[in-house]
Structure 1
Amino acid sequence: MRLIGVGVGPGDPELATVKAVRVLATAGRVFVPVLDERDTGRAEATVRAHAAHDRIERLVFALNERRDRARRERYWDAAGARVTQWLRETGGTAAFATIGDPNVYSTFGYLAETVRDLLPEVVVETVPGITAMQALAAASGTPLVEGGEPLTLLPLARGVDGLADALRGDGTVVVYKGGRRLPEVTDVVRAAGREAVYGEHLGLAAERIGPLSEVEGAAPYLATVIVPARRDRRGGKL
């Protein structure tokens, strides 16, 4: 019995790795996370380009829940129980598709922990995927890091605390989950005297990429912001 977390990238089916495509094509069941069982989530939309639709099954998670821990955990428990049931009944290999990478702010970690508790003999693996910051860096022509520069990744779903401190250094800062607080993010970046690149719906038809300073109002939850490191000459950080 095997459970494999598969990173499918930010949304463009062509950004799924060769290994991810192979696992999605051969797994007995491909589970995908959704907010509502009636809707096709971003992970499923990507999976549908690589896996037979009759092997795809939706698992409902309270993906954006921040305050009601009991509600969030009920969904983790239900999803883990369903995956465990399938594994016990078939003894096969199940994949769980997640946007980006399964080890970077992913629902897969919670699912895997739940399944391990219910089914200790299960083998858990992950297939890395391209992250949103990599996709935005590529699409905007923005090198993420050079030489000895540090890279700081901040999730801002709970607020912009910590962003000003991160921007005091000269390394690159990437903001995830800050869409609803984008005006605050913009203000902090401006106050730090930095410029930033903004991206949303990366790799999809509604993709939007440009300077953060030109974006007004709130943005999608999964919007990404890259504040590049301060660089004054070629190879200056070597």
Structure 2
Amino acid sequence: MSGNRLIGVGVGPGDPELVTVKGVNALRDAEVVVVPVMDTLEQGRAEATVLHYVSADKVVRVVFALNERTDRARREAAWDAAGRRVAELLRAHSAVAFATIGDPNVYSTFTYLAQTVAELVPGTVVETVPGITAMQDLAARSGAVLTEGTEPLTLVPVTAGAAVLKDALEGPGTVVAYKFGRLAAEVATALRETGRTEGAVWGSALGLPGESIRPAAELAGLDAGTLPYLSTLIVPAPRDGGRGGKL
């Protein structure tokens, strides 16, 4: 039995100042910090953030086929290979951290990694350190209020299809959409058809040099090919402007 620790550390949406103290301590305390990279090997947000807090010689880059959206078998093969690599590291070290953008329990590759590693190294203790999410960062930077009183909050990945987003928009409360960059036209249509365009805002590269925060009304005129895949949309709940009415 191993008993060694695999820690998924949420490092936020990209701004290195949005890593929690607990997250920084977890990165520094681990013997090895794994960062996911695409098979094209360019530096990702997680790696860039981690390097603000730990030295490069402590970081191990592990390839995930993150740029592959259509070939499920290829994606799963990459996840399996990454799991085997991290399992090797875990057998040699008592604590291995895996840095993931956002939060490790919200649409994170850490989920797949932890499942694979736990099977390969029995006795592995899996832990997570929560991270600030893109919707929280966009809300703070744009002034959009995510929820008030008894309003529900619905989070959808637009990779599941624009119809899923439209269904959410037809319901109550605030809707947040992740990963919609390549479906900007469909998102604009869903907003228009549900009457939810006004007050909605989208953002990308939050806290980074290429940061963009704009009204969702502008989506209809944009080329989806120019929008980052990791774009975030906030559609606030319809509100009457009163105070405390929903408490």
Answer yes or no: is 1:155 the counterpart of 2:150. no
One-letter amino acid of the counterpart of residue 35, structure 2? V
In structure 1, what is the equivalent of residue 118 of structure 2? 116
Answer yes or no: is 1:188 the counterpart of 2:190. yes
Paired with 1:66 and 1:207, the residues of 2 have a C-alpha distance of: 24
One-letter amino acid of the counterpart of residue 41, structure 1? G
Structure 1 unaligned spans of 5+: none
SS in 2 for 1:59: strand
Paired with 2:80 and 2:167, the residues of 1 have a C-alpha distance of: 37
In structure 2, what is the equivalent of residue 59 of structure 1? 62
Paired with 1:50 and 1:60, the residues of 2 have a C-alpha distance of: 21
Question: How many residues in Structure 1 have an aligned counterpart in Structure 2?
Answer: 237
Deviations 1:127-161 (A, max 9, x none): 00000000000111111011110101010114201
- Asked whether the 8 Å contact 2:39–2:66 carries over to 1, the reply is no
In structure 2, what is the equivalent of residue 93 of structure 1? 95
Paired with 1:62 and 1:76, the residues of 2 have a C-alpha distance of: 8
- Asked whether the 8 Å contact 2:41–2:63 carries over to 1, the reply is no
Paired with 1:202 and 1:122, the residues of 2 have a C-alpha distance of: 34
RMSD of aligned alpha carbons: 1.2
- Following TM superposition, by how much is the alpha carbon of 1:236 offset from its aligned partner in structure 2, in angstroms? 2.6
- Following TM superposition, by how much is the alpha carbon of 1:37 offset from its aligned partner in structure 2, in angstroms? 6.0
In structure 2, what is the equivalent of residue 126 of structure 1? 128
One-letter amino acid of the counterpart of residue 223, structure 2? G
Paired with 1:127 and 1:89, the residues of 2 have a C-alpha distance of: 22
In structure 2, what is the equivalent of residue 174 of structure 1? 176
Paired with 2:184 and 2:172, the residues of 1 have a C-alpha distance of: 21
Paired with 1:224 and 1:87, the residues of 2 have a C-alpha distance of: 34
In structure 2, what is the equivalent of residue 203 of structure 1? 207
The two structures have a TM-score, normalised by structure 1, of 0.96
Paired with 1:83 and 1:191, the residues of 2 have a C-alpha distance of: 46
**Which residue of 217, 220, 234 maps to 2:228?**
220
SS in 2 for 1:153: strand
Paired with 1:73 and 1:162, the residues of 2 have a C-alpha distance of: 24
- Following TM superposition, by how much is the alpha carbon of 1:96 offset from its aligned partner in structure 2, in angstroms? 0.3
Paired with 1:201 and 1:114, the residues of 2 have a C-alpha distance of: 30
**Which residue of 16, 23, 26 maps to 1:23?**
26
Answer yes or no: is 1:236 the counterpart of 2:245. yes
- Asked whether the 8 Å contact 1:27–1:94 carries over to 2, the reply is yes
Deviations 1:88-142 (A, max 9, x none): 123x100000000000000000000000000111111000000000000011111
One-letter amino acid of the counterpart of residue 9, structure 2? V
SS in 1 for 2:246: coil
In structure 1, what is the equivalent of residue 48 of structure 2? 45
Structure 2 unaligned spans of 5+: none
In structure 2, what is the equivalent of residue 70 of structure 1? 73
- Asked whether the 8 Å contact 2:11–2:131 carries over to 1, the reply is yes
- Following TM superposition, by how much is the alpha carbon of 1:166 offset from its aligned partner in structure 2, in angstroms? 1.3
The two structures have a TM-score, normalised by structure 2, of 0.93
One-letter amino acid of the counterpart of residue 172, structure 1? T
Percent identity between the two aligned chains: 63
